[in-house]
Amino acid sequence: MTVKALDISQLEIGYGQQNSNPTKVAGPMDISMTSGELICLLGPNGVGKTTLLRTLAGILPALKGHISIHGKNISEIHKKTLAQSLSVVLTDRIGYGNLTVYELISLGRIPYTGWLGNLDKTDKEKIQIAIAQTGLQPLIHKSIHQVSDGERQKVMIARALAQDTPVILLDEPTAHLDIPNRINIIRLLRKLAKETNKAIILSTHELDLALQAADKIWLMTMENQTFSGTPEDLVLNDVFGNTFNKDGITFDKSLGVFKVVEYHRGRLRITGDEVGIFWTKRALERLGFEVIIGQENVPKIHVSFHDNSWNWEYLINDKSEVFHSVTDLTQHFKMKGGHG
């Protein structure tokens, strides 16, 4: 059997380890990962994702249990040596000072430098590799205050890369970023896991991105269970849906997304042009209709596209009405309750 990059056994996490009555947040949990894997740590707010990451990083002491990196128990590793096997990207706002991007990334070399922190040739090479991997060359002279949020997140990732550790932990690296930046960061992390054979764990609330990008998902539930598996297994076994299903929010297994709206206005059937169906369905669902594509005896809308214009024919009780835009169609349903 190969040695796990990270192995967690009977781990209990929480606060106040030195008190007689510590607050347990989660555990005991038994999970592990191998090198080259990208793990997404998911779970509802307050389930203890950040606490888990901080415990793994050695920032918080574990209440019970063991964490080992490449077979070595982290409680037995000297702090400085641990810093050479595990790096982090946290949500902490930082007093960056007047640091340039380059200076900030070079702080990742601290576990390797001498008493004054001067960089030698190896350190500079590692920094350059980290800069190249994150594509930050054009920014290295800029002050950290002059770069955008997405770029700053990349700088923090580059800093972790410069630390040159086999395991990287990231706490919500995509929070506060727009969609292209989110995808960018996740793509970068995937690439790094594959190309550098690092074990990378990130916590996130982007369920759809996690489902697409993660090799495995670690799922923490409010019932204090921790599941580990490929995204697909967790979805098919309903573990995924059950964790987040509450207050009428449901996970659509067939689409892999959570439904934003609730159905309260009955059912409608759509036929016709495929693209038309897709967008019309969304509009109607937003209004609260459950939309069916198959054969069923419910009021029907037929979408068609000819002569460069869209037409919607609404058939109910042998009467028919034609609309020429989704706005008109939805306006019709907004005016009347239920089926108009």
Partner 1 sequence: MNDRSQLSDYTINHPYKMWSKTVLLISSLMACLVLLLLDVGLGSVKIPPWEVLKILFGQQTDNELWHKIIFMIRLPKALSAILAGSALAVAGLQMQTLFHNPLAGPSVLGITAGASLGVALVMLSGGGVASIYAIRQLGVGGSWLIVLASGLGAGLVMALILLMSTKLKDNISLLIVGIMIGNISISIVSIWQYFSEPEQIQDYLMWTFGSLGGVTSSQLGIFSTVIVVGLVLAFTSSKALNTLLLGENYARSLGLNIQFTRIFLILTTSILAGTVTGFCGPIAFIGIAVPHIARSVLGTSDHRILMPASLILGAMLMLACDIIAQLPGSQMSLPINAITALIGSPIVVWVIIKSKNLRTAF
- Closest to partner 1 by CB, 96 vs 323, is 96
- Smallest gap from Cβ 57 to partner 1, in A, equals 5
Binding site for partner 1 (CB under 8 A): 54, 57-59, 78-84, 86-88, 90, 92-100, 102-104, 107-108, 110-111, 113, 115-118, 128, 132, 137-138, 140-141, 143, 145, 163
Which residues are CB-neighbours of 124 under 8 A, at least 6 positions away? none
The letter for the amino acid at 14 is G
| CA dist., res. 175 & res. 139, Å (int) | 22
| CA dist., res. 7 & res. 71, Å (int) | 8
- Closest to partner 1 by CB, 99 vs 283, is 99
- Closest to partner 1 by CB, 11 vs 57, is 57
- Smallest gap from Cβ 171 to partner 1, in A, equals 10
Residue 183 φ/ψ, nearest 5 degrees: -65, -40
| CA dist., res. 280 & res. 12, Å (int) | 49
Residues 333/340, Cβ–Cβ less than 8 Å? yes
- Smallest gap from Cβ 270 to partner 1, in A, equals 51
- Closest to partner 1 by CB, 159 vs 216, is 159
- Smallest gap from Cβ 75 to partner 1, in A, equals 15
Residues 153/179, Cβ–Cβ less than 8 Å? no
| CA dist., res. 267 & res. 95, Å (int) | 55
- Closest to partner 1 by CB, 92 vs 247, is 92
- Smallest gap from Cβ 201 to partner 1, in A, equals 14
- Closest to partner 1 by CB, 133 vs 204, is 133
Q: Which residue has the tokens 């038994």?
A: 30
- Smallest gap from Cβ 164 to partner 1, in A, equals 12
Residues 14/24, Cβ–Cβ less than 8 Å? yes
Q: The sheet that has 64-69: what strands, in order across it?
A: 23-33, 6-15, 64-69, 72-73
